[in-house]
Structure 1
Amino acid sequence: MSYECFPDCASYLRSRTPAPPPRRKGILANVRRYFWKGEYLCQQCLEIDFRTLLSPSAETDGLLLQAWRFNKESDLEEMRSSTCPLCRVLAVGMEGSVDSPFNRYGLIKFTGTVISPYSSPLALEGSNGFALLGIQISPFVPPELFLGLSTPPFSTCRDALASVQLIQDSQIDYEILKAWICSCQNDHGVGKSATCDHTERFPVQDLKIINCSTRQVEMAKEGCQYVALSYVWGLSVDQQSKHDINSIISDLPRTVQDAILVTLELGYHFLWVDRYCINQHCNDEKLLQINQMDRIYQGAQVTIIAMAGDDPSFGLPGVSRPRVGPFQVEIDSLKLGAIMHGIDDLVTIGNSKWNTRGWTYQEAVLSRRRLFFTEWGVMFDCPIMKCYETLTFPIKPEDDRWVRKTPSCGIRQNPLHIIRRISEYSGRQLSHSNDRLNAFKGVLEAYERLEHPVRHHWGVPILPPRVNHKLEKRKGKESSCAGFVLGLCWPHYTRGSKRLPEFPSWSWSGWDGKTNFLTHERYLAESPRRADARNVRISVELANGRLLDWDDFMCDYFCRKSSVSSPASIYLLVDAWTVPVKLHYHHRDNARIDNPLEVLVSDGTSTYRFVYSSSMEADLTLSDTEINDIECGAYTGIVLGSRVKSNFVLVVQEKQGCMQRVGSFFLENPKEVAENGVVDWDVNQFPWERRTIRLG
């Protein structure tokens, strides 16, 4: 590729001089109603000095510049139906005020220099002085709508302080998209301190690609530059998946056709689409490519992500279907643009169908660069930079400390970051439950190639035992068994999860619900809770019935020092401290509705209660008979660590000839947690027993 690169988006916009594109009719009729003239403004809006408010001034950044009191019921409804266009825009930004305890809204300026979790969205960090006014209704949540000086699409004469870029409904500025990609390639490349190419590129065996000029499926040549597509398959049965090499594919769904056009507009010639580049009727080929998903997506120059629609017939907004651009109000010589909170992608991306599907997760995570096509414009991101078609400046990605709905791209060098990846993925939906691990295999493979590799057994990460959460080496030699036991310490997050019998119950992959690995991360940070080989010993049962102790299993299956005689089964033999437990349905005691089950542990004299994390559907829909069966059941707690410290306990029950996991809880010694230091019981008094349990 050879096109001119610009140092940033703002300088690019100032440099290009295209002819304005023709406007289309039809859908624009719905968009044009958001373009208003200043002579219709009410007196209150006419008195707002937007040029002064939007001037670059650090002294006013993050401050409430102007505020008005209002009645949530009458005044908000009056603003919605006002003849003043700006009042109607302000009303959009105040929609969340109904549930807010505040009866005041105002304008607060953001340039990204203020990083406050209460008043300044992290998405604007790095805006280089361009200002936006947020319509704020609460000091504790980010604004829902932002105002800024705007510039028309494809414009060369614009205000130097413009921060909002208007867009065409059915025409995309591909030059700016190419500038984003080129900026990342040049500024975030190999050898830089902050790089988007920090991982080595590995060749992909038997990689097929679509030649976008001929629409033929071809074998990729060495060094071939290609674009990947991530989209929702939908429910339709595809008849176009049996293509031989050099065959021409036809009758493509609209999304794939649009992706071909975008690939050519970006200056590339080849596109990888899983449905057409993998023979869906050849299991050997599918398995080979599934095992290389990390290499495929990391090898793509950029991934096109089709955010809109529920199936491939929807198309890409801005290519074959229109999209909605920013609102605009013209006030004297100022053109004021209004954009929704979608700039932090919670609305447009976080709530999309694409963001709920299992297979699309690893496609998003493994990509080096991503282009999101939404109905509100195109967004680009990489690990270093975010760019929006509706903003005139690039911004920094959100800090990883904050919970996000969409997964960040790129594999981090911190091996413990995999527990976040599992937590994000585990709540996603799959059409076929037996794909639970296949759809995540690319991420698992990528973490195996880190400097501190993270292997896995049935999806359970084998965390490096000599590396803690800050990547500091720990003293002494430890078996990797400790790292595997840590991987078993995950609590259920979603009750009512369906059990997946094709996977072991002790693995998160054995349940279709979300697991709360963020709690697990805090657990790992506390060294007294860490497991070690002295407390828990693991053996692995092979499919032929042979038992391997953990270190021999690791040697056979991962170090490749001896031949593998048989694949591993779903069974483990766990040698650990155990304690008998009971479950109690305490909702009948008018206790908390959201967590009606609790664990009971007895020392022979008294019974003590613990918070239970379970997949069971324990709510008001249970009959008395079902509740009685739960409370009369026999359960065993397996302590994954020392029994005299605060520890994670697996709750297991005998099912189908083995013990199966049904929940977990934290067993805490009150002598270590009581505030007054006076307690009347001790975990040492519980009926402990050292047992070897066959866990499946």
Structure 2
Amino acid sequence: MSRSFTNQNGDRTLLQHSIMPAHTHLCEHCLEILDKVPIVIERSARWTGSVHITNLGKRFQNELSGSCKLCHVLWKQRQGLLLQLSPSEKGLKGNDSLWARLFFGRLFGPHAIRTSSLPVGLSSEVDFVTLVVVPDALNSNGIFTEPHYNIPALALYDVSRAGDLLCAPELVPAEFNPTMISNWIQSCREHHGSCSPAAHERTEITLIDCATRRLTTLDMTHPYVALSYVWGNVVPKPLLNSSEIPENTSAVIVDALQVTQSLGFKYLWADQYCINQNDPVIKMRQISQMNLIYSQAELTIVAACGESAAYGLPGVSRPRERFQHPVKAGNWKIIELGPDGLLDLIDSKWATRGWTFQEAWLSKRLLCFTDKQCYFECGAISCAESLKHTDLIWQLDSLDLNFRHLNFGPYAYLDETESQSWPLAHIDAVHRALHSYSSRELRFDSDSLNAFAGVLSASKTIHLDSEYAAANSIAFTTALGIPLMVGCFKGQSLLEQTLMSGFSWFHVDSRETRRRTHFPSWTWAGWDGVVDTCWKWFHHKALDLAIQKVHVIAADTSEAIGHQIPSSDIDLQMQTWTLSFEAITVPSHWLTSTGSTGAHLQWFLQESLVRLYSSEPLSYSQFLGNLQNDQNRLVLIGYAPEGLRGLVWILRRTILSWSRAGIISIEPSGPEQQDDKQHIANQNLNRSLLSLIVDGRRIAYRFE
């Protein structure tokens, strides 16, 4: 016996309710759950939201002793959720509940990307339900309404309708399945033209011939696969006869060679052998080609598992972790989808390494190996082995609006960045990439710029809108990692605006920073620590550049060579670049604070509340003493009197020059957050800064 239901719009729902046969190996409670799901979904007003199915009490909070398969699957799913919680959250008491939501409701619902992105004809009939056991104490925080946890969801669907689903849950094979991956790649080639490498790139590249296991030099028009992995503590095995890969090389390279061949490709690029590790000059030249190497690859294999290159690829040389235990009852099938792929990657050693950031960022297509399954992402879609996609998915052509931001799954956090006017959005994109990159680790401080150089090189390609093309008069350049643009936009100098943005970087936490002496203090590359930028607060209100005569000087020659920013990119091999400019000094006695210790002091300039970000551990009393003794100094970098916004650098005196030690961001809170006293203080600071600017006395500063 079966019946179908309709939602509030009159559409037939995805769920066909079936009475379970008596021989089903499920307990009475689980049979009741399966009986409730279609009824509750039908009555729910929030078709794309989360739906409460039933109260579970405490039945899944202890080890189970019964034989019901679904009970064990639900218990295991709850255990997976507990692994994502903090100690305080794990200690919360109370009952559990079972929640459901439509799989694509997460993707196309009001909190997803855009409901207008829904293809014509796509309705609830092509969807299936996901189930999650959620502790009631946590659900008050919206854990399942807007999940940010790596919840291993359960898929519930009618197997008789699997062919009608837009994508259907799949049982992940124990071994790597090249057929499925090849189909993904071929579908991407057929439907996503922007994901294909440029056909005309003839730069020479060293590749491994998978059949002969020998190095060969070809141009980039030959299809090849790139490898992104973590070296770890593995010592590379040397080449045999200067060109042959040894049999006992790292497991990840052996496995990648096998995967490359099984997918129908002949050549593999792996830095361990394809970059000359013994000749610094050749190595630097090859590193400078990183943006081409990964962007021209047909596919990048990501080894997002293990601690080193010795780990290999799960499903190839080592077994996968089994995470699916399917349960079938009548027409119903319940199967684990696995944890969210993005968070699976974030938890990996691979995601902590600096070099791997740009390798993934530059790639057109990624094939990510984890301990449980493979994930695929291109410029338009993300796939997992635990989900089988229909052809309609691949035909979605609104690439930027649909799947790219999912980042490996329905439970990924969707970061809908605000639409911004080109070309400053180009700089914002580089800043966002820098923020992510700076949270990663590098073995050698000298790599801090090299490991991001590919992103900067790729950023030189600016896709000009016809309105702003202006005969290619706008260009992207860098000054030792500081992203800049040259040209004019709506009558304003892009150089001045991007100098402001480039100089507004700061460290999120000064307790976790360290100087990298290979590079000067005025660039983020000269520091180890997570970097963000004040530009996101300023870009809607352009600041006037308050500094003058900005130069970068190369000090590694007997005779200093001056370059006015940004005549050209700074040579990465010349690391002793010095910045100089003339700036207005802000009186040190203007700066005060409410306290004496702690990382979250409130700081004031002439009693106006400001944000202070130090790049060095800060002692309040010592810092104020250094200001009074002129060991620290404050200089005005940029200012906009309308709305009182500004940027101040904190300087620390060195033997012969100055070091950049932090910033002060002047951006008052909104009128509704200001009392009369703060409003008056803001007006006083505004008048004082204007007085300094009108006075115009500037001092020459030189930074190392």
Q: What TM bracket, shorter-length normalisation? A: 0.7 to 0.9
Query: Is the counterpart of residue 527 in structure 1 residue 544 in structure 2?
Result: no
Deviations 1:348-404 (A, max 9, x none): 111100000011111111111010011121111011011110012258232699577
Supply the AA of the counterpart residue of 2:184: W
1:45 and 2:30 correspond:
yes
Quick check: 1:176 aligned with 2:180?
A: yes
Where 2:582 maps in the other structure, the secondary structure is strand
2:196 and 2:298 in contact (8 A); partners too: no
Q: Specify which of 209, 225, 228 is matched with residue 226 of structure 2.
A: 228
**Deviation readout 1:412-456 (Å, 9 max, x if unpaired):** 993431111111111110110101111111111111132454211
Tell me the SS of whatever aligns to 2:519: coil
Which of the numbers 493, 503, 506 marks the counterpart of 1:488? 503
Q: Deviations over 1:268-308 (max 9, x none)?
A: 11111111112200112111110101111111110111111
Tell me which amino acid in the other structure corresponds to 1:90.
L
Alpha-carbon shift at residue 567 of structure 1 (Å):
6.2
Q: Indicate whether 1:167 and 2:162 are aligned.
A: no
SS of residue matched to 2:336: strand
Match 1:435 to one of 447, 457, 471: 447
**In 1: Cα distance, 2:210 partner to 2:48 partner:** 48
Q: CA deviation at 1:484?
A: 2.4
Amino acid in the other structure paired with 2:535:
H
Report the Cα distance in structure 2 between the residues aligned to 1:670 and 1:59, rounded to whole angstroms: 39
Shift of 1:572: 1.5
Paired residue secondary structure (1:208):
strand
Determine the C-alpha separation between the residues in 1 that align with 2:633 and 2:620.
24
1:690 and 2:672 matched: no
Of residues 276, 290, 297 in structure 2, which corresponds to 1:279?
276
Please point out which of 253, 275, 282 is paired with 1:256: 253
Taking the aligned partners of 1:48 and 1:317, their CA distance within structure 2 comes to 35
Distance 2:158 2:236 in 1: 43
Partners of 2:504 and 2:617 in 1: CA distance: 21
Choose which of 440, 446, 462 in structure 1 pairs with 2:458.
446
- CA distance in structure 2 between the aligned counterparts of 1:399 and 1:537, rounded to whole angstroms: 45
Which position in structure 2 is the counterpart of 1:612? 612
Equivalent-residue separation in structure 2 for 1:318 and 1:428 (angstroms) = 27
Counterpart check, 1:62 vs 2:84:
no
Letter in 2 for 1:527: K
* C-alpha distance in structure 2 between counterparts of 1:542 and 1:441, whole Å: 19
Q: CA offsets per residue over residues 78-98 of structure 1, 9 Å max, x none? A: 375665332333232353574
8 Å contact 1:540–1:568 — kept in the other structure?
no
1:576–1:692 contact (8 Å) kept in structure 2: yes
Distance in 1 (alpha carbons) for counterparts of 2:345 and 2:38:
30
Q: Give the corresponding residue for 1:392.
A: 388
Aligned counterparts of 1:658 and 1:302: Cα–Cα separation in 2: 48
TM-score w.r.t. length of structure 2: 0.76
Matched position secondary structure for 1:210? strand
Given that 1:56 and 1:131 are in contact with CA atoms closer than 8 Å, whether structure 2 keeps it comes out as: no
Identify the match of residue 428 of structure 2 among 390, 410, 416: 416
- Corresponding letter in the other structure for 1:692: A
> 2:303 aligned with 1:292, yes or no?
no
| Counterpart-to-counterpart distance in 1, 2:94 and 2:246 | 58
The 5-angstrom pairing of residues 102-117 of structure 1 reads 103-113=95-105
CA contact 2:479–2:566 (8 Å) conserved in 1: no
2:324 to 323, 326, 330: 326
Within 2, Cα distance between the matches of 1:80 and 1:397? 40
Call closer, same or farther: CA 1:257–1:68 in 2, change over 3 Å: same
User: CA shift at 1:463, angstroms?
Assistant: 3.4
CA offset digits 1:187-226 (Å, max 9, x no partner): 111xxxxx22486753323x11111111111112562111
Q: 2:345 aligns with which of 345, 349, 354?
A: 349
Instruction: Check whether the contact 2:427–2:483 (CA below 8 A) recurs between aligned residues.
Output: no
Aligned to 1:578: 585
8 Å Cα contact 1:62-1:108 kept in structure 2: no
Which residue in 2 is equivalent to 1:504? Answer: 520
SS at match of 2:405: coil
Give the letter aligned to residue 657 of structure 1: L
C-alpha distance in 2 between matches for 1:389 and 1:54: 30
How far is 1:536 from its partner? 4.3
> CA offsets per residue over residues 467-511 of structure 1, 9 Å max, x none?
xxxxxxx32252624422321111211323011111111111111
Seen in structure 2, the aligned counterparts of structure 1 residues 650 and 402 have a Cα distance that, compared at 3 Å, is farther
Q: Decide whether the 8 Å contact of 1:168 with 1:325 is kept in 2.
A: no
Comparing 669-678 with 636-645, greater Cα deviation is found at: 669-678
Greater strand percent: which structure?
Answer: 2
Distance 1:119 1:462, change over 3 A: closer
1:269 lines up with 2:266 in the alignment:
yes
Does the 8 A contact of 1:64 with 1:108 survive in 2? yes
- Write out per-residue CA displacement over residues 127-149 of structure 1, whole angstroms, 9 at most, x where no aligned residue: 97231323163334327232224
- How far the C-alpha of 1:636 sits from its partner, in A, is 1.9
Name 1:365's counterpart in structure 2: 361
Residue 595 of structure 1 is matched in structure 2 by 600
Report the Cα distance in structure 1 between the residues aligned to 2:627 and 2:199, rounded to whole angstroms. Answer: 52
Distance (Å, rounded) in 2 between the aligned partners of 1:331 and 1:426: 50
Kindly, what percent of the aligned residue pairs are identical?
24
Query: CA–CA distance in 2 between the matches of 1:670 and 1:42?
Result: 58
Farther-moved stretch of structure 1 (282-291 vs 625-634): 625-634
Q: Which amino acid aligns with 2:703?
A: L
Distance 2:62 2:669 in 1: 58
Return closer, same or farther for 1:278/1:239 CA change in 2, 3 Å cut-off: same
Change (3 A) 1:103 1:382: same
Alpha-carbon distance, 1:546 to partner:
4.0
Q: Secondary structure at the match of 2:208?
A: strand
Cα distance change of structure 1 residues 188 and 46 upon mapping to structure 2, 3 Å threshold: same
> Who is 1:141 aligned against?
146
Shift of 1:600: 5.1
- Residue type at the aligned position of 1:595: H
Q: Is the 8 A contact 1:355 1:361 kept in 2?
A: yes
> Is the contact made by 1:493 and 1:514 (CA closer than 8 Å) also made in structure 2?
yes
Q: Distance in 1 between matches of 2:404 and 2:257?
A: 28
CA contact (8 A) 1:241 1:279 kept: no
How far, CA to CA, are the matches of 2:240 and 2:281 in structure 1?
14
Mapped partners of 2:475, 2:95: distance in 1:
53
* Cα gap change, 1:242 to 1:521, in 2 (>3 Å): farther
Q: CA deviation at 1:122?
A: 9.8
**Structure 1: gaps (5+ residues):** 1-36, 190-194, 405-411, 467-473
Q: Name 2:301's counterpart in structure 1.
A: 304
Say which of 48, 70, 88 aligns to 1:86: 70
- 1:67/1:104 contact within 8 Å kept: no
Task: Choose 215-224 or 46-55, whichever is displaced more.
Answer: 46-55
Checking the alignment, whether the CA contact within 8 Å between 2:300 and 2:363 is kept in structure 1 is: yes
Q: 1:463 aligns with which of 466, 485, 492?
A: 485
